[in-house]
Chain A
Amino acid sequence: MKKKSKSSAPANAGQTSAKKQKKENDKVVDGVELVSSGGHPLSIGHNIMVRYRDGSHRTAKVIERSSCIENAAITWQYYVHYHQFNRRMDEWIDVSRIVATEGVIVEDDHHGHAKSVTHSAEHSSSENANDEAADHHRAQGEVNSAPSIGGSQVTTIAELGYDEHEGLDEASLLEHEEITKVKNIRNVVFGKYKMECWYFSPFPKEFHPKGPVDCLYFCEFTFRFFRTKNELVRYQSHANLPRHPPGNEIYRDSRVSMFELDGAVEKIYCQNLCYFAKLFLDHKVYMVVFLFIVKSNWITVQTLYWDVDPFLFYVLCTFDDRGFHPVGFFSKEK
């Protein structure tokens, strides 16, 4: 296999110009030859056998790859999609979690239930510690010692064969998948919880300047987001920080209350809410996104517009003496 190093930063998924950039990077590093081990890098689209978060072995497809150089040796990371699983389970993995790279047989990705894998483990699976860390990563859910509920259940939910994208034609579906194939935010901190993100969300470039970022910090009262914890703490230290969503409280019982927001009035709040929600929803039709791309000589202008005006937002909150804490929402056309 040809040994070649690619760009060190994971390709940024948010840019439609990603392909172009990739090509340029290839050119730049073409001449560089570095020692890499074990038949890596794998090509994109290659099917491999991976140790999954729960320790079982699953087939996966390489979506994207990145390398970093340590002590003159290249270590590779791969962004993989597990067959028959929802895209929310896609993740970056180390080479140590790859069980087999050749002879992996994959059956029908979308609706098949039987999964036959003829190949036994080639590499020894000695990195148990690493594996457990990966498992915990999803299950940890929160920063503080609240009961463990943070999304741990999703590891068991396989894809149901339900077509989430019906109504989209083939071309726009492909375009949607190309743009959103790699998550750009890995975790978010929201209130006292830290959550692993499920999908791509079109955050402004300033929030992920060099490819995917590890964590964004959300204020739970205004849904403003920051790149560092210090920024969030400083923002929240303002005395006039609201402790509840804007809009009208239309429902309150002993446990929860519901706020009604007009998207045209509370524009900023609702748009920030959309940025946050998109991290956990895989639909471009749910939120109406307008993407205007103007291409002229070497300049790509990309404007993103969350069209929240024609919607009412209903934000569900639990409350305690610190304020109202959003736990979910739904939107509705006026």
Chain B
Amino acid sequence: MSFNYFDLAMLCSQGNMHRYSDLGYNLACILTFPSAQRQGFGKFLISFSYELSKKEEKVGSPEKPLSDLGAVSYKSYWASTLLVLLRSFPGQQVSIMDLTKMTSILADDVAATLQMLGLLQRIDDTAVLCCPPDVIDALIEKYPHNSGVPVDPSQLHWAPLYVTDPRKDKWSIKAKKDGSDVS
């Protein structure tokens, strides 16, 4: 009987690895213990997961579905990260794909966040990213960036376990082409 269990378990776990391996998740499950909540550790964990993705040179996204508290933390992280980037961005035009490359945040998540912030406008059936400085500053006050514990990338000593061929890996940043919706 125990032999059967073992067999089944092995089968399931292997099937599982195949099922998930190429979905582009950079995080499966996240928890800040209740004793340490409200101190910025949740945001640190999220930020850390994207730092690992940057090291892997991949884009990533949390595994869905998110819990209610998880969704709140992620939305806040995406918003503050993108806003800081947009405020200090030197050029005139930026595409969603550029933002994805700089932050390792999945393009869908970037688009959803910009839409939530009200920065995407529709002109002639094309989504246009429109961010006047005063709007950005107002939004940054709403989504403060430096709250809690920041991640210092220079203190991270880590290399990815498996190196994939960037030409074959659709989640690799190098495989990304420039996006088309700009301004």
Instruction: Give A contacts to B, CB under 8 Å.
Output: 86, 141-142, 149-151, 153-154, 157, 159-160, 162-167, 190-191, 193, 195-196, 198, 250-253, 255-256, 258, 260, 277, 280-283, 285-288, 290, 292, 294, 303, 305, 307, 309-312, 314, 316, 318, 326-334
Contacts and interface: CB of A to CB of B under 8 A. Distances in A.
Contact of B29 (A195, A260, A277, A309): A277
A250 B158 contact: yes
Contacts of B163: none
A190 B32 CA distance: 13
Given A251-B157, A327-B32, A330-B45, A86 B68 contact: yes
A130 to B, nearest CB: 24
A141 B34 CA distance: 8
B41 A331 contact: no
Given A149-B38, A328-B41, A334 B162 contact: yes
Interface string B1-42: 100010011001100110011000111111111111111011
B64 A316 contact: no
Interface of B: 1, 5, 8-9, 12-13, 16-17, 20-21, 25-39, 41-42, 44-46, 48-49, 52, 63-69, 71-72, 149, 151-152, 155-158, 161-162
A307 B13 contact: yes
Contacts of A165: 65
Contacts of B71: 160, 162
Contact of A334 (B39, B52, B149, B161): B161
A166 B64 contact: yes
Contacts of A318: 36
A167 B162 CA distance: 29
A260 B160 CA distance: 12
Contacts of B65: 162-167, 283, 285
A316 B41 contact: yes
A150 B35 contact: yes
B66 A149 contact: no
Nearest to B45: A330
14 contacts: A151-B34, A160-B72, A164-B65, A167-B64, A167-B65, A195-B34, A250-B158, A251-B48, A253-B152, A287-B29, A292-B8, A303-B5, A327-B33, A328-B45
Given A250-B156, A330-B49, A333-B25, 14 more contacts: A157-B69, A166-B65, A167-B65, A193-B34, A253-B155, A283-B67, A294-B1, A303-B5, A310-B16, A327-B32, A327-B36, A328-B42, A330-B28, A334-B17
B34 A150 contact: yes
Question: Which of B29, B41, B156 has the most A CB atoms < 10 Å from its CB?
Answer: B29
A288 B45 contact: no
Contacts of A150: 34-35
B28 A333 contact: yes
A291 to B, nearest CB: 11
Question: Which of B13, B21, B33, B158 has the most A CB atoms < 10 Å from its CB?
Answer: B33
